[in-house]
Amino acid sequence: MSNRGPVATHRSSTGIPTGRLATWWVVASEIFIFGGLIACFVLFKLNGTPGFEDASKTSVAAGAFNTFVLLTSSLTIVLAHAAIESGERKKAFNYIWCTIGGGIVFLIVKTYEYSGKIISGDTITENLFWSFYYTMTGLHALHVIGGMVIMALISFDILKGYNFQRVELIGIYWHFVDLVWIFLFPLFYIANF
């Protein structure tokens, strides 16, 4: 595995590669961003705040399909990691682009959902449920877009033969994005009580 570049590649105090340690720090900070929003959502729901019954208006099929897409994209990015570790650059490149494809499908479904909801009058200012819905799923979608851009950049790097370790790092990030959706799905789509 290539580790070229003027960076300290390992932290002697932890024995963990710098990039991976940094990625885990990102994950830790993201836990607060999404966790804080989820915590507030749960508290308002438990308090019986009006508007949360609108969860019945979201499409379970679309949410479930998007969960399936993200789970599958998690599989392809971890397979890319396994492929690059065994030196199969082209295979890793293909798996990364399958993952990006998954991200695109996810965003298309999300756009379809957003447009349907906005047309029917369920906008971000309608009530607290929709405020949470658009804020959290929108923030999540931004993370998906960011992950896709970084993955595309990494894919060309590995074809050129360097920064292989970044496949694992973007994988950790992408799995976290998947993990967040695993919780958003029941909150917004199936908890209608």
Partner 1 sequence: MSGTHTHPNYVKIWFWLVILLVISTVGPMLEIPIITLITAFGIAVVKAFMVASNFMHLKFEKHIIWFMMIMSLILLGVFFFGVAPDIMQTKGDQWIDCISDNSCVEQRL
Rule CB under 8 A: choose which of 52, 58, 74, 110 binds partner 1: 74
CA-to-CA dists, residue 81 to 35, 88, 91, angstroms: 27, 10, 10
Q: Which amino acid is at 37?
A: L
Q: Give the Cβ contact number of residue 12 at 10 Å.
A: 6
Q: What are phi and psi of 115, to 5 degrees?
A: -65, -40
Question: Does residue number 182 form part of the binding site for partner 1 (CB under 8 A)?
Answer: yes
Specify the 3-state DSSP secondary structure of 10: strand
Question: Does residue number 149 form part of the binding site for partner 1 (CB under 8 A)?
Answer: no
Rule CB under 8 A: choose which of 27, 107, 109, 139 binds partner 1: 27
CA 100, 106, 110, 111 dihedral sign is positive
Specify the 3-state DSSP secondary structure of 3: coil
CA-to-CA dists, residue 160 to 38, 131, 165, angstroms: 41, 44, 14
Q: CA-CA distance, 83 to 20, in Å (whole number)? A: 18
Question: Does residue number 176 form part of the binding site for partner 1 (CB under 8 A)?
Answer: yes
Task: Please say which residue, 85 or 126, places its beta carbon nearer to partner 1.
Answer: 85
Rule CB under 8 A: choose which of 78, 100, 136, 158 binds partner 1: 78
Question: Does residue number 22 form part of the binding site for partner 1 (CB under 8 A)?
Answer: no
Rule CB under 8 A: choose which of 18, 31, 94, 114 binds partner 1: 31
Task: Please say which residue, 13 or 119, places its beta carbon nearer to partner 1.
Answer: 13
Applying CB under 8 A, the residues found at the interface with partner 1 are 1, 14-17, 20-21, 24-25, 27-28, 31-32, 35-36, 39-40, 42-44, 46-47, 60, 64, 67-68, 71-72, 74-75, 78-79, 82, 85, 165, 168, 171-172, 175-176, 178-179, 182-183, 185-186, 190-193
